[in-house]
């Protein structure tokens, strides 16, 4: 609906491949907002009618199932999460894929374990392996996927060692199978393509240190904004089915306000959908301007908080990559102007 109706073509990462090639019409911003509202409305109705635990980014629900429910996840969750996340992201909601695929993978792992009548301990391991399989495949990072489920289960710097080996096997197999579904030229390539960067001087560590400090502050801002928005929507005196539609509508309006405020620059629309297109451009020699990168990074926090904090189904890790990548590119440009020899 997005592309033919609103004329909006979300940017993609270099390693992604569109499966459909619809006819693209003229960009109609207000139709885009209407499509986002409808997507949020349908997604919200499905989630809160059939599986309320599938709301939001899904990672918290998977962690709760691991620690408090003996790894038990209702069989309907993976299917509900797949549909509602596709609706949210496919209608330009600012969301990522990590949270949904983690809960989807965890759900399938728990379902398989229950059918095999495994113990509670083994069911939890299967659940964690499913999480790793999904993340390793969709981000094309099998090693990261292998470590993901063992690390994300705890707030502190702990690791669930029992799940590492099963998760590594599941992540590697899922990564391999997923790549076989891609066109030959994209198989076994990184999500954002082959990026070749070289450290030529130890002095480069100074800008990286400055970037680390900046990103730490922005990460805190992201977390507080997201959970603050989530708590605010929880207090609204309306049925929860309508909250994702309100959040999606507000996110669309914020995105369009930014778009028009900066002269209708299409790169600014990265604050909607995944935002990977502008992030991919930030990796290239033809980077967006500093003010565009900073605007995308900061406003992406707002649109993601509105989309997912309202109960929309989607992840928060993908948007965080866009936020961090755009900030990194902006800081890099500034330091290059001040210190071109480095």
Task: Report pLDDT for 284.
Answer: 83
Q: Which of 247, 222, 224 is nearest to 301 (CA)?
A: 222
Set out the domains of the chain in order of their start, with CATH numbers. Answer: 2-186 (1.10.3080.10), 202-338 (no CATH)
Question: E strand or H helix at 170, and its extent?
Answer: helix 164-180
- Residues of the chain falling short of pLDDT 70: 1-4, 14-25, 342
254 burial type by CB count under 10 A (0-12 exposed, 13-18 middle, 19+ buried): middle
Task: Report pLDDT for 18.
Answer: 62
- Spell out the residues 6+ positions from residue 1 whose beta carbon is closer than 8 angstroms to its own: 35, 38, 90, 91
pLDDT digits (tens, 9 = 90+) for 137-185: 999 999 999 999 888 888 777 788 889 999 999 999 999 999 999 888 8
Measure Cα distances from 57 to 37, 98, 161, 227, 250 in Å.
18, 8, 25, 12, 18
Per-residue buried b or exposed e for 47-63, using 16+ beta carbons within 10 Å of the residue's own CB: bbeebebbbbbbbebbb
Task: Report pLDDT for 248.
Answer: 97
Kindly report the number of other CB atoms within 10 A of residue 280's CB atom. Answer: 21
Task: Report pLDDT for 58.
Answer: 83
Are the C-beta atoms of residues 11 and 177 closer than 8 Å to each other? no
> Any idea what DSSP says for residue 179?
H
Task: Report pLDDT for 21.
Answer: 58
Cα(224)–Cα(230) distance, rounded to whole angstroms?
10
Cα(331)–Cα(310) distance, rounded to whole angstroms?
31
Cα(207)–Cα(275) distance, rounded to whole angstroms?
25
pTM: 0.91
Cα(153)–Cα(340) distance, rounded to whole angstroms?
43
């Amino acid at each position: 609906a997005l592309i033919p109706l609103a004329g909006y073509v979300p940017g993609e990462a270099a390693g992604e491949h569109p499966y459909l090639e619809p006819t693209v019409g003229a960009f109609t911003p207000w139709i885009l907002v209407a499509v986002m509202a409808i997507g949020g409305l349908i997604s919200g109705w499905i989630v809160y009618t059939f599986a309320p635990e599938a709301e939001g980014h899904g990672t918290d629900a998977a962690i709760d199932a691991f620690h408090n429910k003996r790894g038990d996840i209702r069989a309907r969750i993976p299917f509900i999460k797949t549909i509602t996340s596709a609706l949210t992201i496919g209608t330009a909601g600012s969301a990522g894929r990590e949270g949904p695929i983690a809960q989807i993978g965890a759900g399938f792992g728990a379902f398989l374990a229950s059918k095999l009548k495994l113990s509670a301990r083994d069911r939890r391991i299967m659940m964690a392996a499913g999480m790793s399989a999904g993340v390793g495949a969709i981000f094309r990072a099998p090693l990261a996927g292998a470590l993901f489920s063992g690390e994300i289960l705890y707030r502190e710097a702990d690791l669930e060692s029992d799940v590492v080996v099963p998760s590594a096997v599941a992540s590697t197999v899922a990564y391999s199978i997923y790549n076989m579904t891609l066109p030959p030229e994209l198989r076994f390539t990184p999500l954002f393509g082959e990026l070749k960067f070289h450290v030529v001087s130890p002095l480069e560590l100074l800008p990286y240190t400055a970037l680390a400090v900046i990103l730490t502050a922005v990460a805190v801002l992201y977390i507080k904004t997201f959970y603050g928005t989530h708590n605010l929507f929880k207090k609204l005196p309306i049925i929860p089915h309508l909250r994702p539609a309100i959040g999606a509508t507000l996110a669309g309006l914020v995105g369009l306000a930014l778009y028009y405020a900066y002269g209708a620059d299409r790169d600014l629309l990265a604050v909607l959908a995944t935002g990977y297109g502008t992030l991919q451009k930030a990796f290239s020699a033809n980077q967006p301007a500093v003010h565009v990168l900073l605007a995308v990074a900061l406003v992406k926090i707002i649109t993601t908080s509105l989309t997912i904090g309202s109960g929309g189904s989607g992840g928060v890790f993908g948007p965080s990559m866009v936020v961090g990548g755009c900030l990194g590119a902006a800081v890099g440009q500034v330091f290059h102007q001040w210190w071109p020899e480095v």
